[in-house]
Amino acid sequence: MKLNGRKQSGAAAGGLSAAAQVSPCAACKLLRRKCAAGDCVFAPHFPPDDPSKFANVHKVFGASNVNKMLQEVPEHQRGDAVSSMVYEANARVRDPVYGCVGAISCLQQQIDTLQTQLAIAQAQVLHLRVHVAATAGQALCASTCGSPMTSKITMSNQTKPNSNMSMVVDQGSLGDFTWSC
């Protein structure tokens, strides 16, 4: 048979079985070895359409070590193990010195900053509630007592909330409020 000016055998012209048409997994492609999809430990986790996934894992851990790790893990947990290795490898490629620890540290700094901001906001809300309660108490007393003079006497006899309470926050320790680390 001729197609595009080239002579092809019967198998290439469309007589291939489904098993022969399947391309090797990304690991076997990178390692340039024959991939038997049923026997290859990499095939279910490193599809041929995403070669960078295995490339980073291979660069960081090595194919032999990945193979050993996957064989030690039960089959139902291999997917989680591969996703963990991929995450660690990608983090190590992005940040060769700190890897995953750098990402975790960055997230911890963001949590600390957000907790500080939350504490400041809660303190401000409390301050405003006390101020509103004190102002509402003065207005209530003035309307129920009658004259302004009796309202002053009544308020002086009661324990008055301190509406002039000041809040001191050391904002120098807060640092920069950006989301990047």
User: What does the pLDDT profile of the chain (181 residues) look like in tens digits?
Assistant: 444 554 444 444 444 444 445 678 888 888 888 887 677 888 888 888 888 889 999 999 998 899 899 999 998 999 999 999 999 999 999 999 998 899 899 999 999 999 999 999 999 999 999 999 888 777 766 666 655 544 444 444 444 444 444 444 454 544 444 445 5
- Residue 30: how many other CB atoms lie within 10 Å: 19
- 123 and 84 co-located in one domain: no
**pTM, rounded to two decimals:** 0.53
Q: How many domains does the chain have?
A: 2
For residue 151, the enclosing domain spans: 106-173
- 73 and 139 co-located in one domain: no
Is residue 139 assigned to a domain?
yes
Alpha carbons 85 and 174: distance in angstroms, whole number: 35
> What are the tokens at 94?
């992005």
- 161 and 122 co-located in one domain: yes
Measured over the CA atoms of residue 99, residue 102, residue 107 and residue 111, the dihedral's sign is positive
At position 14, the amino acid (one-letter code) is G
Is residue 81 assigned to a domain?
yes
- 166 and 125 co-located in one domain: yes
Question: How far does CA 129 lie from the centroid of its chain?
Answer: 35
- 164 and 112 co-located in one domain: yes
The C-alpha angle with vertex 79 and arms to 58 and 97, in degrees rounded to 5, equals 40
- 26 and 53 co-located in one domain: yes
Is residue 128 assigned to a domain?
yes
DSSP 181: -
Last residue of a domain, one of 94, 127, 154: 94
Q: Which residue has the tokens 């002086």?
A: 156
- 84 and 118 co-located in one domain: no
